[in-house]
Structure 1
């Protein structure tokens, strides 16, 4: 591909059909549909909607695709956790690399060009080796996607051992304060560790709806008192959905004042912000948006003991936001694309001049159609270069017979 490429006949999110000119990995300019300049490479996007590429803001690659060998048990979520904890020793680094690579390939084929993965860090060297394997994948796949690694130390792990994850390849600090005997003290420790590591913080908070616990409010207060100057994200925040409108408004105001971001995980069973609070009032997601809180959404678990489902598709996550969070298509897609990228500290992508040319072209006439039907026909560009093409073979009508199904075919980048 030359330094300049024209995407011809693309439908922009606002409905206009235009030619989009890419140069040096970014959007150079947009012009009316016409014949590309001589000598320029061209990609025909007639019939395709051109969108900023999605970003997966919260995933657990170390557990992905372990549902079949690990399974779960009839004891619900706690049983699923026990099933996973009893099994990790069965998996070597080669297995982790295979599963993580397969997951990242699926995400890329569906349009994702940036992923943030959380990795549990416990005593011993196995978890650090997992970070090293993901760091190697990050290097191998850097032309296809950005991979951010969040080290999630267990509460009983020493400060020194937790910080070793950064030497192994982690770039952010995570944590699950609810697993500590003193969650507030653990939150303060994680803030201190992130400050020492000069790393942004992304915590699992209020992962179960429980009106007696509101860790996200505690974190907001700690951030304002401590003057912590780095980026902070709170994932899950399920308890927000249980709050009555006055209490919700007060907590949301504190979150907004703290500057933290919130990452919802709508595919997580019983572990995410519910759509409607009791006694009416605004839905929590809308309350956060109205207050100016930066909001993203992610897939969380993918076919593992905690969640056996998942398609590694940001359009599916956006669809869940529309159905469970009462969000418009534009709000839902922003949560898995432009807002997610901003929270992850990535440069803006999209169809505006000057933006990075991380793009998803999907065969659809509107954003609502793309989100709700998740068409198989997709072209993914990373920094202006095609990294994946997926097309569907549709059955033709045969007189007197019924078509028996259809398949989808992925064409390697550069094959056309």
Structure 2
């Protein structure tokens, strides 16, 4: 692949850009696209920003030219649901039976033994370096926040947020069970989240006190003007309807900030009637949904000695049909909840396309890891390609989606502020 020049002005010629992340005033550009919804364009980069987007070969060009040769140009990835504080503990604390309950126990064991600031910093920084090298430009991480761990891990997050300020947009979500917010410690946690400019969140479980727990969380968020982000229904139990309960609480409280719900696995094992009722409420409440295909394939329906019977992911296509914003994200990486991964959102997209049969929906699906994910994070200047926005791009050699998703695209070029970055990944030995 051609080398991106270090000069302040150049053109990326003969590029294919997914329509779903391309924002242009000249709508004729949309008409010049492949059957898969890839627009054929030339992109001018000047002073670190996108200066022009025109139809491919539609005008003479005097500046330096980089011929993309029909390869794809994407906006930088947006990873809206991660767990950087848990990452890369698999080697020291593996989950040998691969179950959800064992994952919970093993993470708790590891945190009690190791999670001081130096350890959390080293692993989180490693994850950020991987994400950056793969082409991510914005990340939201959930942070385990019971007791003193909240101060430790949020302190590390703030340090990393400052260190990466010119390279990555970082957001943090408090992760506790919702009953915690009914305690004085839970109220203090909400204050800490507000202090660091984070997002209030937690894990919702079906229980007799769930409505009271949700009312409290929504009240704390409203008082502090915080967005909300929940883990819900990460189970194959059809009686688990926490997503519906969150939607009902949002409507009951008249909540005006963004709400995101991750996992939502039990939707896939509920009746069509129940699903329709829930999705109507989710749509009315304006809730965005995040599917986590890597970890949910790994954990869901896992029983010793038998092959899983279902895929674990939520109803992505049905959510889209209802007009609900749905995204894909990394979730856990090399920890007891998922023993693999490399913080590569292209891998997440690839898995999501294959598992949820999104290959017939390519026109919209790339936005699930770029523009739509950015929208759920409240970001208007990332995850999309538009004139006057920073030239934060990823250039793939793959011309079609079949080419893109059939190889790992290790030769991708990651462009930040118009300049190609070093995409060398950190060595695992640094974690020893």
TM-score where L is the length of structure 2: 0.80
1:345, distance to aligned residue in structure 2 (A): 1.1
Please state how far the C-alpha of 1:44 moved relative to its aligned partner.
5.0
Q: Distance in 2 between matches of 1:186 and 1:179?
A: 11
CA deviation after TM superposition for structure 1 residue 313, in Å: 1.3
Residue pair 2:82, 2:139 contacting (<8 A) in 1 also? yes
- Which of 123, 126, 137 in structure 2 is aligned with 1:99? 123
- 1:11 pairs with one of 16, 24, 31: 16
Deviation at residue 134 of structure 1 after TM alignment: 1.3
Q: Deviations over 1:307-348 (max 9, x none)?
A: 101131111111222222121334432211121111111125
1:321 to 347, 352, 358: 352
In 1, distance between residues paired with 2:259 and 2:377?
A: 10
Establish whether residue 204 from structure 1 lines up as the match of residue 231 from structure 2.
yes
Relative to structure 1, the CA distance from residue 104 to residue 181 in structure 2 (aligned partners, 3 Å threshold; closer, same or farther) is farther
**Residue in 2 aligned with 1:295?**
326
1:70 alignment partner, SS class: coil
Q: 2:395 aligns with which of 336, 339, 361?
A: 361
Deviation at 1:48, TM superposition (A): 3.1
The CA deviation at 1:271 is 8.3
Task: Provide the residue aligned with 1:128 in structure 2.
Answer: 151
Contact 1:264/1:295 (CA < 8 Å) preserved in 2?
yes
Distance change in 2, residues 1:169/1:371 (3 Å): farther
| Deviations 1:147-187, CA, capped at 9 Å, x for gaps | 11112244335243212422662511111122876222222
Give, in angstroms, the shift of residue 238 of structure 1. Answer: 0.9
Deviation, structure 1 residue 358: 2.5
1:305/1:137 CA distance change after superposition, 3 Å: same
> 1:163 aligned to 2:197?
no
2:206 and 2:240 in contact (8 A); partners too: no
**1:388 Cα deviation from its structure 2 partner:** 3.8
Q: Secondary structure at the match of 2:165?
A: coil
Q: 2:415 aligns with which of 368, 371, 381?
A: 381
Q: Measure, in 2, the Cα distance between the counterparts of 1:258 and 1:220.
A: 6
Contact between 2:206 and 2:242, CA under 8 Å: does it hold in 1? no
3-state SS in 1 of match to 2:74: strand
Count of equivalent residues: 383
Task: Identify the residue that residue 367 of structure 2 maps to in structure 1.
Answer: 334
The answer as to whether partners of 2:137 and 2:169 remain within 8 angstroms in 1 is yes
Which ranges of structure 1 fall in alignment gaps of 5 or more residues?
A: 391-407, 411-416
Q: Distance in 1 between matches of 2:119 and 2:90?
A: 14
Q: Structure 2: which 5+ residue stretches go unaligned?
A: 1-5, 19-32, 302-308, 428-432
What is the deviation of 1:209? Answer: 2.1
| Matches of 2:206 and 2:126, distance apart in 1 | 30
2-structure distance, mates of 1:273, 1:333 = 25
Alpha-carbon RMSD: 2.8
Structure 2 counterpart of 1:266: 293
Name the CA distance, whole Å, in 2 between partners of 1:84 and 1:409.
23
What is the rounded CA distance, in whole Å, between the counterparts of 2:370 and 2:147 in structure 1?
A: 35
